[in-house]
Structure 1
């Protein structure tokens, strides 16, 4: 599969990568559990937002492709996207 997502998504994923490195650093420095958990929570929230954006971008592209091919019934694609998001939680 080809990924043609905006640079914004890649930037978001790089930020998450940095957050993960930050969590590891906190653990290596022996920081309190509360700080580690707070940072992991931020990572999870950022990851959820990135996931939703990726699914939305993909859904949009799939719908446009189907419509260009003459298929106006995209209900199944939307349902699959929703299921994908639900499974990711």
Structure 2
């Protein structure tokens, strides 16, 4: 794994850890009986964070397809198609 890819993976892990902390905070809010509006606001923030993280993962995959193409053209096309499908599912 090159330094750039390792940096991106670390960035993704950091974002996931942050989202995990936010989820724990939301659980605590629910346990404490906090206002529904505040809980939904925090859930929306987590969803947004996860969406951005998914974008980073997809971008990393697409970048890898172009920077490290495989020799077999059909396999390369399959890798790119898979990356496009991830975007559509998002």
Common topology (TM > 0.5):
yes
Name the one with the larger helix percent: 2
Cα distance in 2 between the residues matched to 1:59 and 1:12: 20
Q: Does 1:37 align with 2:40?
A: yes
> Alignment length, in residue pairs?
84
Q: Residue 65 of structure 1 is aligned with which of 51, 65, 68? A: 68
Cα distance in 2 between the residues matched to 1:86 and 1:37: 26
Instruction: Check the 8 A contact 2:30/2:39 in 1, yes or no.
Output: yes
TM-score w.r.t. the length of structure 2 is: 0.76
TM-superposed deviation, 1:24: 0.5
Instruction: Check the 8 A contact 1:63/1:77 in 2, yes or no.
Output: no
Q: Which runs of 5+ in 1 are unaligned?
A: none
Other-structure match for 1:12:
15
- The C-alpha deviation readout for 1:8-61, integer Å capped at 9, x for no partner, is 111111000001101101100000100110000000000000000011101111
Runs of 4+ more than 2 Å apart: 3-6, 74-83
Cα distance in 1 between the residues matched to 2:25 and 2:82: 34
TM-superposed deviation, 1:85: 2.2
TM-score w.r.t. the length of structure 1 is: 0.77
Other-structure match for 2:84:
82
TM-superposed deviation, 1:86: 2.3
